[in-house]
Amino acid sequence: MFANRGLAGIDGTISTATGIALGAGRETTLLLGDVTFLHDAGGLLLGAGEPGPDLRIVVLNDAGGGIFGLLEHGKVEDDGGYGTAVERLFGTPHSVDISALAAAYGVGHTLVRTTAELAAVLASPLKGRSIVEVRTDRSGLRPLHARIKAAVAAAVSQVLLGA
């Protein structure tokens, strides 16, 4: 497993995964967000006659940068003082057609909407490059993470108290 320049570095991620897949000579899966994908869309270009990797590119497409809603920016947005500026500047919403982008580079594209569909795609054999687009929603991420953190904290403190 590789993480590109720390888990938050979005630069050159498709290119790095392409190099890893070619270097290792084995089937490789890349998991990344839509902004990260779009940032290095040019990394989908293979030179004529160059070897191609067996690379599955799983794009979690929540139409923007979901991470910022989980950081201090999300609190600023919740507080409401800056109107739509936080979403505009940090959420960076977009409506790029990833299937059209895949077609432009001659890469296969599959859209999945359920975990069962995702599991089926991940289990299917891979030859060449394929983009798997997973549509998701970042709007409720901050409260969801708060609930997960609270549940983990409660579970851990029970274990610690019981020890």
Ligand X SMILES: Cc1ncc(C[n+]2csc(CCOP(=O)(O)OP(=O)(O)O)c2C)c(N)n1
CB closer to ligand X, 33 vs 53: 33
CB 111 within 8 A of CB 121: no
66-to-33, 99, 159 alpha-carbon distances in Å? 9, 21, 32
Name the residue with the smallest CB distance to ligand X.
33
Give the binding site for ligand X (CB under 6 A). Answer: 8-11, 32-36, 62, 65-67, 138
Q: How far is CA 129 from the centre of its chain?
A: 17
CB 141 within 8 A of CB 70: yes
Minimum distance from CB of 119 to ligand X (Å)? 20
Minimum distance from CB of 140 to ligand X (Å)? 13
Minimum distance from CB of 94 to ligand X (Å)? 9
CB closer to ligand X, 11 vs 50: 11
Minimum distance from CB of 5 to ligand X (Å)? 8
CB closer to ligand X, 12 vs 108: 12
CB closer to ligand X, 35 vs 102: 35
Minimum distance from CB of 82 to ligand X (Å)? 18
CB closer to ligand X, 34 vs 77: 34
